[in-house]
Structure 1
Amino acid sequence: MFDFLVPLHLCERSIQPLNHTVALKTDGTLWAWGGNNLSQLGDGTTTTRNTPIRIGTANDWKNIAATGYHTIAIKTDGTLWAWGRNTHGQLGDGTTTTRSTPTQIGTATDWQTIAAGENHTIAIKTDGSLWAWGNNNYGQLGDGTITNRSTPRQIGTETDWQTIAGAGLHTVALKTDGSLWAWGDGTNGQLGDDTFLAKTIPTQIGTDTDWKTIGHGRYHTVAI
C-alpha cells in the first residue's frame, strides 16, 4: 500500500486532556474515576468522580484499556465489552451511540488482548489474529483504507500477533517472532520507519527480531 499525507480537513487533533482512569482489583472487580463527561467511567452517569467507584457488580473482569474518552475490557470468559464515547465507532457495537455502562461487543468469546487509541480500538484474539475498529483517518486501523469501522474488522490474515499498543492516531505491535510493526499517523516520525508519512497497513520497522515491550505517547513511541 502507498504512503500518503492526509488532507487537513480529515485531521482530528483534540486538545482536550485524556482524563479518566480504570483499574481491576485482584477479586476481578472493575473500578473507575476521573472525567466522565462522555460516560467513559461506565457507571451509568456523566458525573465526574474524584475517588475510585466500582462499576457494576461483575467480578470476572480480566483486561482493560482506556484512553481518549472510551474504555474497552475483556472478561475471563473471553467476551469483549466497551463504553464511553463512540462518535467514530470505537466501541465496536455497530453504532456511533455513546454507552454509559459496559456493553458487550458481539458474541465472540476468544478475545485475548486489547489496546485503545484516541478514537480507535485494537485487539488480538486467542488465535493470534489482529482486529481493529473506530476512527481511521490516518490509517490507524491498518486495513489499507482511511474508512472508519464501527465493528471489529480483521486486519490481514496473519495469526502471529502478540502485543499491541494503541496511541493517539497510530498503532504499534509486536509479532511472536520479536519483529516490530507500526501504522497510522507518522507526521512526527512516531512510526519509526524513517519517514514522516502515514501508513495504512502494518509496516515492519527495521529488521530486528528482539523487540520485547512497546509503549507510546500521543505522538511518540518507545520500546525495549
Structure 2
Amino acid sequence: MGPGLQRPAGSGEEEVSAGGEQSFALSVSGGVFGWGRNDCGQGQLGLGKSQTRTDSPQHLRSLSALPLVQVSAGGEQSFALSVSGGVFGWGRNDCGQLGLGDRTGKNYPIFKIKYVFL
C-alpha cells in the first residue's frame, strides 16, 4: 500500500483513490478501507464524527454487505459504486455536492441513486 501503511489483513487492493483530506482503498473482495483526516467536521472518512483522523486504513463497515466496484475520494466528500449500480456518497455537502437534495453533510455512506448505467 505504500510506506508506513499496513495492509488490512486478508485484503489486496483493487483500487486506491486519494482526495483532498482522505484516501480509500477498495479491496479485491469489495471492502472499502479509509484513512486520513476526518476533523473538518464533514465526515469525509465515512466513519462517523467520533474519529478525527486515522493514520491506518479503517474498514467502512457500513458498506461491508455491498459488493463494490469503485470508490472515489473528492475534496471532502467521497462516493462508492456497487456492482448493481447503486451510488453511495458521504462527507461534505454544504453546496449539495452529494446530490441528495439537501445541504447537510453525511458522516456515513448514504444511498444516493438507485441505478447508474455505465
Give the TM-score taking structure 1 as reference length.
Answer: 0.47
**Residue identity in the other structure for 1:126:** V
Residue from 69, 79, 92 that aligns with 1:112: 69
Decide whether the 8 Å contact of 1:122 with 1:131 is kept in 2: yes
Of the structure 1 ranges 99-108 and 58-67, higher mean CA displacement relative to structure 2 is found in 58-67
Considering only CA atoms, is the larger Rg found in Structure 1 or Structure 2? 1
Decide whether the 8 Å contact of 1:61 with 1:75 is kept in 2: yes
Decide whether the 8 Å contact of 1:123 with 1:132 is kept in 2: yes
Residue number in structure 2 paired with 1:79: 31
Decide whether the 8 Å contact of 1:80 with 1:109 is kept in 2: no
Structure 2 stretches lacking a partner, 5+ long: none
The answer on 1:133 being equivalent to 2:87 is: no
Residue number in structure 2 paired with 1:103: 58
- Separation in structure 2 between the aligned mates of residue 92 and residue 129 of structure 1, nearest angstrom: 17
Structure 1 stretches lacking a partner, 5+ long: 1-29, 32-52, 161-174, 177-224
Runs of 4+ aligned structure 1 residues displaced above 3 Å come to none
- Separation in structure 1 between the aligned mates of residue 67 and residue 50 of structure 2, nearest angstrom: 24
Mapping 1:54-203, distance limit 5 Å: 55-58=5-8, 60-87=12-39, 88-97=42-51, 98-106=53-61, 107-157=64-114, 159-160=115-116, 175-176=117-118
- Separation in structure 1 between the aligned mates of residue 77 and residue 7 of structure 2, nearest angstrom: 27
Of the structure 1 ranges 122-131 and 59-68, higher mean CA displacement relative to structure 2 is found in 59-68
The Cα RMSD (Å) is 1.6
Question: In structure 2, the residue corresponding to 1:137 is in which secondary structure?
Answer: coil
Aligned residues: 111
Give the TM-score taking structure 2 as reference length.
Answer: 0.85
Tell me which of the two structures has the higher relative contact order, counting C-alpha pairs closer than 8 angstroms and 6 or more residues apart: 2
- Separation in structure 2 between the aligned mates of residue 115 and residue 100 of structure 1, nearest angstrom: 19
